[in-house]
Structure formats: C-alpha cells, structure tokens
Chain A
C-alpha cells in the first residue's frame, strides 16, 4: 500500500493557501488543480504568459492562441491576464509566485533537485524549471519514492545534473512527506502514506532523515 497519484496530488493541495499565486508543473502536479478547496481563491500561473488558467475548453472550442506550458489547450477566467515570457519570469524570479509544485527525478537531503536531464539519453531541456526553483518562495516536489527498478530517488546527494541546489522545501512521495531545511540542509519525515511503515520508508530512502511524525 502506498499513495496513488491522486492521493499525492491531494496531499500537495494542502500546501495551498487562500490568495496564493501558484505554478503547477506537468504530471502529478497538474492534478493538484482538481483539489483546490471550495471557497479558496488560488490563481494558477502558466509560465508561457498567463495568470488565471481555466479548465480545458469544451470540445470544438480549443483556441490555438491559448495554451498552457504543457502545450495543452486551456481557457481563460474572469480574472485572467496575459503577458510576455520576460514578464512571466520576472514574476517567477522576482519571488512574486507563492508556490511551485513540480515533479522530480531525484531529491537530496540538502534540498538539491534533479529533474531535467539524464546524461547519455536524449535531453529535452529544462524549460522553466530552473527559474521556478530559483525564484519561487516555496518549492514542493511530488514524485515516486523509488525508480521502477527499486533504486532510491531520495538521496544523500543527487547523481543526476541538478535543476537547482538547495531549493526544495517539501517532498511528497507515494510513501510519505519530508520537510527539508534548504538553508542548512536536513530532512524531517512528517507523514507516512497509508499503510506504509517507518521500516519500509527507511529501507527505501538513502537520505538521512529525522522522524517527526
């Protein structure tokens, strides 16, 4: 037993606060939009140049001029605004976005994140991920705890090229939740996923962590 993708998205949604401006990455982070609590005002930023992302359009109403950073067609809301890529990253780099939720390949106990490149394989590029982790006030990573091979992804030090050094504040995996002190380093296990024991998560984690359940 462990958390599903939906469970992980629901847990990540607990990081949202009323009035937040939030950037969601591709994959599980995108699902977080489905768990914004009723009555809470959260504005989603899309780094290709939009604040106030709406849901997918109805069939037949897709607009080629209106896409999100994953290149999916979307819609606008009453509060939406559009801007250039340089304005978009001024928001991101300038610390105006409250929360970034993104996927990961590896997270280390010092808050390092790797999520853009596997040497020797085709490299697609970092897109906006390096800017997001460098500039957004709080960075939450959502990812599977281990590789499909069983190899650990929560490490003492990342061995893949970094997206950012000392940038992750919170890590949510299918096995549990870790807080990371990105200034001085160090992980605290604050929650276990349903049906996951402390022994199991310890066995599957290379990083050192303090238990703070």
Chain B
C-alpha cells in the first residue's frame, strides 16, 4: 500500500533531489513557506537549482538560506526586495533572475498544473514583460501569451493534512501553495497538524490528496514574521492604517 506519510523532511525528499532541478516553493514573503523542507534541501546540498517562488525569503531565513549556501542558480519571482544577499549575488552575476508579474506567475503555475501549456493575459502588455512574446488581439484589446509552468518538485506548507494528503491551509498562508501543489512532478508537503484520514471534513479540503505524493508533520515551525505591525489597545478599531 502506498504510504504518503514520511518520518521527517529528509526522508520525504529522499530520491527526489538532483542538481540542476527546478523547484517550486510555496509562500508569500515568509508567510506559508515550507521552512522544514527548505532546511532539508540546504542539508542535502543539492545545487544549481531553479527556484520558482514569489519571493526569496530574507537574509538567514526561508529561501534566503539556500542563497547563502550558493545552491540557487536562478529565481523566478515577482518581488525580491527583502534580501540584501540576493541583491549582491544578482548584481555580481552569480544569480539569474526572471521577474513575472505576481498574477501572471500564479496563473502560469495554475495553468501548468492544469495541463494548459499557455494562456493570454492583458497583464504586462506594452511593458518589458511582453517583449519577445506573442501578442494577440481579442475583442479589441491586446493580450500577451504566457506559458504554463511546471517543476520537478514542489515543496508546500499547509496547516492541516491527513494521511491521504488532503490539505487545509490557514488564513493568508495559503497564497501560492495550492497551485504549486498541482504543478510539481513530485509534491512534498509539510503540515503543522498531521491527522488520520477521515479527521478532516471533505467539504473543507483546499488541496485534494491526489496532488500530494509525500507528507510530513513539520518538526519545528518558527513562523518568523517579517513586519510586526500592531496598534495600542486604546485605539478605536477600523481607524488605523492597514
């Protein structure tokens, strides 16, 4: 019988890693990142990675630790402004970078996972993003063709998961995780709470287990926050900057 549950991050990645591979990593900023699996990739020492992720962590945490160890060859991202080391490596030519508009990146991944090789979007028409790409007019407006994206491996963070690989995300930690789970040739998931099948309400599943090959209960979740913004208790709600 197929056993999706693995003992730890190292075991869950065993046999799936190779130099030069393409990896999708869920998360927005540090929110909803597979921090245990990223740490295991660092230990595994796999190199020349092309990493598809909205951001690249920060110095010393998240995908930033794979930058430090020189394991990343190329990033496909929408925003990388939080990372000094990224800037240094990029400006010195040690790191390749492909920017995608955030919505185009999300849709490329969704399309890749859904068996759609390309689609047309208005986003980026008339900008650097559309240079060299096919433009087609539909109903009077120009659209640029973007390709679906797939990866050798997707690493995903969910809140709850069951032994069948059914997943539930929590709040804005969902972000890119559901699409990326569909677009990796192999999909490995870490969850905060791993339960037996039957424990999750089937109506509440965000990612059905068909997309998930391996799942672990994460050993440790630091869940670092990039910008803690708070208000004093005596403020009236609804009247502060969000």
Could you tell me which A residues sit within 8 Å of B by CB distance?
Answer: 24, 30-31, 33-34, 44, 46-50, 53-74, 76, 82-86, 88-89, 92-93, 112, 117, 122-131, 134-135, 161-166
Most buried by A among B91, B109, B123, B173: B123
Contact B232 A59 (CB under 8 A): yes
Could you tell me which B residues sit within 8 Å of A by CB distance?
Answer: 28-32, 54, 77-82, 87, 90-91, 99, 101-107, 109-110, 121-129, 159, 169-179, 206, 223-233, 235, 237-242
Contact A128 B102 (CB under 8 A): yes
Most buried by A among B79, B87, B127, B232: B127
Contact B106 A89 (CB under 8 A): yes
CA distance A186 to B225 in the complex (A): 44
A56-B81 contact, Cβ under 8 Å, with A74-B242, A84-B174: no
Residues on A with C-beta less than 8 A from B227 are 67, 70-73
Residues on A with C-beta less than 8 A from B77 are 125
Enumerate 20 A-B pairs (CB-CB under 8 Å) in ascending A order: A47-B103, A49-B28, A49-B175, A53-B242, A62-B225, A62-B228, A65-B223, A67-B226, A70-B227, A71-B31, A84-B106, A84-B176, A85-B105, A89-B107, A124-B80, A124-B81, A128-B103, A130-B123, A134-B122, A135-B103
A86-B240 contact, Cβ under 8 Å, with A125-B77, A127-B79: no
Residues on A with C-beta less than 8 A from B169 are 82
Most buried by B among A31, A58, A125: A125
Residues on A with C-beta less than 8 A from B229 are 56-57, 62, 72-74
Residues on A with C-beta less than 8 A from B240 are 33-34, 55-56
A84-B175 contact, Cβ under 8 Å, with A59-B230, A71-B227, A128-B101: yes
Q: Which of B102, B126, B237 contacts A165 (CB 8 A)?
A: B126
Contact A131 B230 (CB under 8 A): no
Contact B122 A125 (CB under 8 A): no
Task: Name which residue of chain A comes closest to B109, CB basis.
Answer: A86
Main secondary structure of the interface of A (DSSP, over half): loop
A67-B29 contact, Cβ under 8 Å, with A55-B238, A161-B127: yes
Task: Report the minimum CB–CB distance from A32 to chain B (whole Å).
Answer: 9
Contact A130 B129 (CB under 8 A): yes
Contact A30 B241 (CB under 8 A): yes
Contact A124 B127 (CB under 8 A): no
CA distance A112 to B92 in the complex (A): 32
A57-B231 contact, Cβ under 8 Å, with A67-B31, A84-B106, A85-B106: yes
CA distance A85 to B181 in the complex (A): 13
Contact A31 B241 (CB under 8 A): yes
Residues on B with C-beta less than 8 A from A70 are 227
Q: Which of A60, A69, A164 contacts B126 (CB 8 A)?
A: A164
A62-B230 contact, Cβ under 8 Å, with A122-B87, A161-B127: yes
Residues on A with C-beta less than 8 A from B231 are 55-59
Closest 10 CB pairs of A and B: A89-B103, A165-B126, A124-B81, A131-B103, A125-B79, A64-B223, A130-B101, A85-B106, A128-B102, A72-B229
Known: A47-B103, A86-B109. 18 other contacts (CB 8 A): A44-B242, A48-B31, A55-B231, A56-B240, A56-B241, A57-B229, A65-B172, A67-B227, A71-B227, A82-B171, A85-B102, A85-B106, A89-B106, A117-B128, A124-B81, A127-B102, A131-B123, A165-B127
Task: Report the minimum CB–CB distance from B31 to chain A (whole Å).
Answer: 5
Residues on B with C-beta less than 8 A from A89 are 102-104, 106-107
Task: Report the minimum CB–CB distance from B36 to chain A (whole Å).
Answer: 15
Task: Report the minimum CB–CB distance from A12 to chain B (whole Å).
Answer: 13
Contact B172 A50 (CB under 8 A): yes
Task: Report the minimum CB–CB distance from A10 to chain B (whole Å).
Answer: 13
Residues on B with C-beta less than 8 A from A73 are 225, 227-230
CA distance A34 to B242 in the complex (A): 8
CA distance A35 to B78 in the complex (A): 30
CA distance A162 to B186 in the complex (A): 37
CA distance A140 to B30 in the complex (A): 29
A125-B171 contact, Cβ under 8 Å, with A64-B31, A89-B102, A131-B104: no
Contact B129 A49 (CB under 8 A): no
